Amino acid sequence: MQNKVKSKMKVIFFGTPKIGATILESLVTNPEVEVQLVVTQPDKKEGRKLRLTSSPVKEMALKYGLPVLQPTKVATIIPELTALKPDFLITCAFGQFLPPKVLQIPQIEPLNLHGSLLPAYRGGAPIQMAIWNGDTETGMSLMRMVKGMDAGPYFAQAKLTIKPDINSEELFSEMADLGSVLLKENLKMIFEGKIDPLDQIESLVTFAPILKSEQEHLNWNNTTRNLHNQIRALSPQPGAWTTYKEQRYKILKTTALENCKNKIKTVIPGTILEINKKGITVATQDGQLQILVIQKAGKNPTPAGIFGLNAFQIGGKFI
């Protein structure tokens, strides 16, 4: 596609959650960019009162007075997108696949900010899976969108160290800032044709599909490190959970006590070994995990030690 000299780069942005809202604001505040339109998911009912709630991207768009479309299927708004003649379509965590006809609309490129160092972790949960797998490094990829899921070549990448106890919400925030910088540093060069994208090495591809509800249940017959990583990856939402006397509890923050071996070799994983003001210590397959923050179903998160003194018994078992 041939570009022309223009005062600003014209962008249609697609996104839905907080990470997308951060990227959108970075585009809006870039003096070289004109955000023509924002596309996000339809409002949905949330919470116990099922209030109709707008996405963070929609809220950000309204803050800056930008027009917003919320199609259930992007194909239904192709005429509106085409009429704007954008230079770029840019997506970040939108939540819908863009059909090939939509990818052909921009004058320059259809771009996606993906939350991994491609070709690692193609799919809908790359940030969570990097934590779950205990990775020490991740990053953002600025890529060309193609028909295949996250299969296009990438123009640029930026790396980020994963802190040992960071949870997914915190890492999403850091990745949003990283992606904003990556986009600002490279968008103009892509517009001017100064960057050639690199093809992904297919033999190195791994996947991170959208998480399923059954993955939220904690299996205490697992290693301390694996349980700790699972909890971090799912915190604060949707939250890893366990049960005690048929009551469900979300476990939102833990400390891995990897040097603490169970003194009683026959102790069953999931058994409560100690309750104090610091937290609740639970037996795992190879050691102990201390629960720091817990949430009973329908209640707010609370420090586990204070809550546990009244709710649980030493020797009791999480399932």
d(CA 282, CA 273): 6
7 annotated binding-site participant = no
Q: Which two tokens stand for residue 203?
A: 């033999």
117 annotated binding-site participant = yes
d(CA 254, CA 277): 14
H, E, C per residue of 2-67: CCCCCCCEEEEEEECCHHHHHHHHHHHCCCCEEEEEEECCCCEEECCCCEEECCHHHHHHHHCCCC
168 annotated binding-site participant = no
CA 134 centroid distance within chain: 16
Instruction: Provide the b/e sequence for 77-104 (b: ≥16 CB within 10 Å).
Output: beeebeeeebbbbbbbbbbbebeeebbe
CB 150 within 8 A of CB 91: no
Comparing CA positions, the residue from 149, 140, 145 lying closest to residue 172 is 140
Comparing CA positions, the residue from 60, 132, 51 lying closest to residue 92 is 60
Q: Which helix (H) or strand (E) holds 245?
A: none
213 annotated binding-site participant = no
d(CA 257, CA 135): 19
Residue list for the binding site for (6S)-5,6,7,8-tetrahydrofolate: 116-119
Residue list for the binding site: 116-119
